[in-house]
Structures are given as structure tokens and as C-alpha cells.
Amino acid sequence: MLDCVADGVFTVDCQRRITCFNRAAEEITGVPRDEAVGKLCHEVFKGRGCETKCALFETIRTGRRVVCMGCSIINARGRRVPLSISTAILKDREGNVIGGVETFRDLSEIERLRKELERQYTFADIVARSDAMRSLLDTIPRIAESSSNVLIEGESGTGKELVARAIHGHSPRREKPFVAVNCAALPDSLLESELFGYKAGAFTDATRDKPGRFDAAQGGTLFLDEIGDVSPAMQAKLLRVLQERVFEPLGSVESRRADVRLITATNRDLDRRVGEGAFRQDLYYRLNVVRLCLPPLRSRRGDIPLLVDHFISKFNALSGKNITGASERAMLRIMQHDYPGNIRELENIIEHAFVLCLGGIIEAEHLPLELAQQDSSPAESRVGSITLREMETLHIAETLRRHKGNRDAAANALGIHRATLFRKLKTLRIASEDSSN
């Protein structure tokens, strides 16, 4: 009966060792039942305070139930999962307390929808495991706390706006608006009125005052995407705003103060455009106080399986399907692709597969035509000259080496449970000396 329940359910004895673990609990935590049963609950539910402030243990100790309390755990893949939990005590027929029971519900989709409404993002929303991205993300908290202008460079589809939103979401300005403008989508005349606003009578159709994006972002963050595409005339106007911290709406003779933090982004090489005279050097230096360069997806292929899992979870929630993953052949073809459209292209590929996939696994034939028709087979296909199995073996071995044989640290870096790592070491026959335990 418990396996038919959509919520996760588990029971523990009075020492907090798990005695029952239902199917939904396996799906939410990513931990198989046979690995969970017999363990202390905080060894499976790796949440903040699980070991020291366990709600279930408090219920067993005091008899007081917990109803719909919010918390979060880290699942077997290393991802944070928001939960709503409820607890109660378990008694035998004589009325003696023999343990406790906890039910928990995955709130990931509710949190995602809330973020869509509030447009609030954190660094945890940036799905990345590769060293290139993790080292970049490690610097962002310090950047967020400052008030300096930030220039984000990267190809289209690499997630520049998501990084900008994460910076704003962790900054002292996070309670104020985040306003985004795509500079390449508007001609100069419209871009100027969009940014600075206008007064009634400024031009023929201006029948009333309209505030611009600088006004809308007062106290918050203004994100100017594709800044490398603005004209020299608009560059001069932006330079004055950055130097004087004031602007004038079209048709106005009064200056307004610009209390905004500016984050800009471009998919162009601004250094080269400055050298060619197409971009003002003085504006470039004003924008380029802090510079972040987002690597293209093809240079961080280790993030692809994690992103595939992320998009599968997203489209499962949107479509009501229960697709569990991609087959080896499909995953191999996904890994082989060069992704000129980067993360946005990968998301479209998974969405395309969801339309065609009627079962629980994405197969190669569910992928877009250019991927589905690749000449490859599970036995002979290769990424470069390495099979998918060999690539996984090398990736795990390298991660273990980098963490000096520490399996806990390696499992965390790989985004998998420690027990899963043990199984892979045995299956792939990877020798490892655990230096820590």
C-alpha cells in the first residue's frame, strides 16, 4: 500500500535506524530501498540539521507531531530537494513507543513556479559540476556582495541571464527589482526611450509620461543583454549615466538619479571591438569592472548528463510524464553533439524527445533528426576515441585521484551517493585506495 502513495514514507526505530522505505522515498532521495533500510535516517537524508535537529527524533522523544514543516535535503545526485514533512510516533499493540514515521513531499515544482513568479534565483539553480563552472561559481558570492558593474561574456545560450539573476538574488539589492533588457532586439530610437523613458509630448505618439527601465530598476539591478550590439550614439549616453549616475527621459530638461547596479552581457569579443573602434574604450572599462566568462557547453561536457537529468525533471513536472532517463545510445549521441546553441539547444533537444517518447526511457529515435540519424551503435560509438563506459571510468578515476582517494569527497563531486560510487568502482573495476576511511 505504501508503494502506491505519491509521498515519500519511511519509518525508524527508537535509535533512528530506518525500518521501512517506500518507492516514492526512493525516487525523491535517489537512494535504493535496500541501501536505506538499516541506516540512520540522517545518513540517507542529508539535510541541514538532520543529525542535530531531527524533527522525527523530536517527535519520538516528545510525542509531539510535526505537520507540513518545510526543509530541504541533498539527494543522491548531490542536488538540493525542498520538502514538506510530517511526523508521528509509532506504537506497538501495548502502546509502547517503538519508533516514528515520516511522510515527505517533493516541493521542487512548487518552488520552481514560485521562482518563476518572483523571478528570484540562487546559485543552486545553476546546474554545473565541471571544474570550469564550479570555480566560476565560487567567485560569485563575493561579486554579489559588491556594488561593482559586472560584464558577463559567453556564447548565446550559456546562461548569462541566469548568472546575472543569481548575482542579484544574493546581493544587498535582492529585495528590489531585477530588470532585463535585450539591447539587440531594439533599434536605437526605441532603445533610448525603453531605457530612459519619455515625457508626454516628446514625440507624436507620446500622449503621457512613460518611465524607462532605469526608473523601473531603481534600487535594484539593471541587466543589459547583448551590450556589444549598441550603437556608438547609445554607448555615449550609457557612458554618461555610468559617470554621472543621472539620466534624462526623452523630452525632459530635468535629470533623474540612477540608483541601479548595472550587469551587462555579450556574446561578442568586446576587446576586439574596442580595437576595431566599434566599441568605446572608456565605456568598456566602466562596464568591465568585474568580468565573468561562461564556457560553452562543448568545453564542459561533464555537465551534460547533469543538465539532461535537470531538464528531464523539469519536463516531467510540466508534462505529467514519468521519464526516468535516456538510454545509453541516446545519451551517447547527446554527448557527441557540439551544441552551437549551448544549454538552450540541449533543453530543446530534451523537450523534443519528450514529445515523441511514450515510455519511461528516451531512446535515440526520440532525438531530433540530426542526432537520431548519427551513425553510431552502443558497441562501436565513441566520443572522440573513448566509449561512454570508458569515459565514465576515466571521469570517476580522475575524480578519485583529484580527491586523493577520498570516496566521500569524490561521490559528492560526482553528484552521486557513496554507495552508488562503490557499485561503480566494482562494476567498472576501478582500483582506489580510500585515504580517509
Same fold, 2-106 and 388-427: no
pLDDT of residue 396: 79
List the one residue out of 147, 198, 196, 195 whose CA is nearest residue 174. Answer: 147
Give the integer Cα–Cα distance in Å for 303 and 323.
20
434, pLDDT greater than 80: no
**Strand partners of residue 232:** none
Pairwise pLDDT comparison (397 vs 162), residue with the higher score: 162
Overall average pLDDT of the 201-219 stretch:
82
Q: What angle do CA 281, 145, 131 make, to 5 degrees?
A: 80
Overall average pLDDT of the 234-256 stretch:
89
**What tens digit of pLDDT does each residue of 310-345 get?**
888 888 888 888 887 888 788 888 888 889 999 999
Mean pLDDT of the residues in the chain: 84
**Predicted confidence band of residue 379 (pLDDT cuts 50, 70, 90):** very low
**Predicted confidence band of residue 423 (pLDDT cuts 50, 70, 90):** confident
**What tens digit of pLDDT does each residue of 165-192 get?**
999 988 999 999 999 999 998 888 789 8
435, pLDDT greater than 60: no
pLDDT of residue 391: 66
**What tens digit of pLDDT does each residue of 265-311 get?**
999 999 999 999 999 999 999 999 999 999 999 888 878 887 888 88
Overall average pLDDT of the 233-241 stretch:
93
Out of 3.20.20.140, 3.40.140.10, 3.30.450.20, 3.90.1150.10, the CATH code matching 2-106 is 3.30.450.20
398, pLDDT greater than 70: no
pLDDT of residue 151: 96
pLDDT of residue 314: 85
pLDDT of residue 375: 56
- The answer to whether 345 and 371 have CB atoms below 8 angstroms apart is no
Q: Where are the alpha helices (DSSP H) in 74-159?
A: 108-118, 131-145
CATH topology of domain 320-372: Helicase, Ruva Protein; domain 3 (1.10.8)
pLDDT of residue 415: 73
CATH topology of domain 115-295: Rossmann fold (3.40.50)
pLDDT of residue 385: 38
**What tens digit of pLDDT does each residue of 29-63 get?**
889 999 999 999 888 887 766 666 788 888 998 88
Out of 1.10.10, 1.10.3470, 1.10.287, 3.30.1560, the CATH code matching 388-427 is 1.10.10
Q: How much of the chain exceeds pLDDT 70, in percent?
A: 87
Residues 6+ apart with CB under 8 A from 173: 219, 220, 221, 261
Whose cell is 565560487? That residue is 138
Overall average pLDDT of the 256-264 stretch:
94
Q: Which of 3-17, 81-95, 339-353, 421-435 is least confident?
A: 421-435
Give the integer Cα–Cα distance in Å for 35 and 363.
29
Overall average pLDDT of the 121-131 stretch:
69
Q: How much of the chain exceeds pLDDT 90, in percent?
A: 40
**What tens digit of pLDDT does each residue of 71-103 get?**
888 888 777 888 889 999 999 888 899 999 999
Pairwise pLDDT comparison (249 vs 260), residue with the higher score: 260
**Predicted confidence band of residue 117 (pLDDT cuts 50, 70, 90):** low
Q: Which three cell numbers stand for residue 387?
A: 566509449
List the one residue out of 149, 153, 147, 144 whose CA is nearest residue 121. Answer: 144
The sign of the CA dihedral 331, 337, 342, 347 is: negative
pLDDT of residue 352: 95
Give the integer Cα–Cα distance in Å for 68 and 83.
9
Each domain of the chain, given as residue ranges in start order, spans 2-106, 115-295, 320-372, 388-427
